Amino acid sequence: MKTFTIENEKLRAVFIDYGARLISLTVKDKEIDVIYGCKNPDDMLSDKSANFGACVGRYANRIAHARFTLAGKEYLLPANDGDNCLHGGHGFANRYYDCKDENNTLVCTYDSPDGEDGFPGNLRLTVTYSLQGGALKIEYRAVCDKETVCNFTNHSYFNLNGGGNVLSHTLFVDADRINPTDSQSIPLKETMDVTGTPFDFREPKQVGRDIGALHEQLILARGYDHNYILNGSGFRKCARLSGDESGITMDVYTDQPGIQIYSGNYLGDADENYRGAICLETQHFPDTPNRPDFPSCILMPSDEMISVTMYEFS
């Protein structure tokens, strides 16, 4: 396993080639590492569910019943989350990438063979991490020799205080609606307006303010673990997270249609690490390969998928 560090005057980021994982991100003027999870690279080999800091694919989030149909053919995937496929099965998070430090920019490439985890086509994913002032920029580029589906995200867990839980962090999400889910976290047919519900973060509020409300969706997921349908289109600011103790603020920018907000509901399971971090995963919607009403995640062999997400700290 190889370790790589890129840094500038404001940030220092440490990665490993296993899963192209971000294992540390230090905001220098505070000397606070805002990334939660394993710090010893070798410990990442035992991480098969949390996906700490990983680049997740071939399809991030869930695909219902671990199957989908594309161009008239059904594809069967590993069922690793009940009846469903989560984060691509074995997934890109648990593969070694070819990583190169190119002038303080980390370029990570993974070649996924046709049929890996059941997905069609030989796909090449290139993930480029770079620092721009106080921002970590993540660019995804993918090409494939067959029609396929794909969805990539970074699965970092953030704690802007550097410790404790994140319930006192303040969160803003620019979304009027979410995808409510069934008991297996698969989106229901109808979307849900967040107005008047615990899911409304259009005005900044503490993560923990409403997390214990007796709302069916919170009870099913043990907290927040939902796709927010982002307002607007193109590359835009979609969320802001603020640490109450550190004073660090993180603005999230993306060109993706959704963002999964996961409040660490299974971290620590009620010990001192319970809800010790929060994920803000930019993405296509869960189960899109089975939902033609969702924004398309299809990649044609004549096209290149390009997407950018940025986490900016101040």
Q: What is the CATH number of the domain that holds 192?
A: 2.70.98.10
Identify whether the C-beta of residue 149 lies closer than 8 Å to the C-beta of residue 70.
yes
DSSP 132-199: ETTEEEEEEEEEESS-EE-B-EE--EE-TTSSS-STTSEEEE-EEEEE-B-TTS-B-SS-EE-TTSTT
**Closest by Cα among 226, 313, 299, 225 to 265:** 225
31 catalytic, yes or no? Answer: no
Three-state DSSP class for residue 68: strand
The residue from 116, 169, 226, 281 that is catalytic is 281
State yes or no: pLDDT of 272 exceeds 80: no
pLDDT at res. 206? 98
155 catalytic, yes or no? Answer: yes
108-144: pLDDT as tens digits: 999 999 999 999 999 999 999 999 999 999 999 999 9
State yes or no: pLDDT of 271 exceeds 60: no
pLDDT at res. 50? 84
Lowest mean pLDDT among 117-126, 162-171, 183-192, 262-271: 262-271
60-111: pLDDT as tens digits: 999 999 999 999 999 999 999 999 999 999 999 999 999 999 999 999 999 9
> Quick check: bond before 21 cis, omega within 30?
no
Distances 118 to 77, 127, 156, 258 between C-alpha atoms, Å: 5, 22, 25, 25
pLDDT band at 145 (very low <50, low <70, confident <90, very high): very high
**Closest by Cα among 126, 224, 231, 132 to 169:** 224
pLDDT at res. 39? 79
pLDDT at res. 48? 67
213-228: pLDDT as tens digits: 999 999 999 999 999 9
Q: Report the predicted TM-score, pTM, of the whole model to 2 decimal places.
A: 0.96
**Which H or E run includes 208?**
none
The residue from 87, 116, 155, 312 that is catalytic is 155
Query: Domain tally for the chain?
Result: 1
As a whole-number percent, the residues of the chain with pLDDT over 70 amount to 98
Give the structural domain span for 108: 3-313
State yes or no: pLDDT of 262 exceeds 90: yes
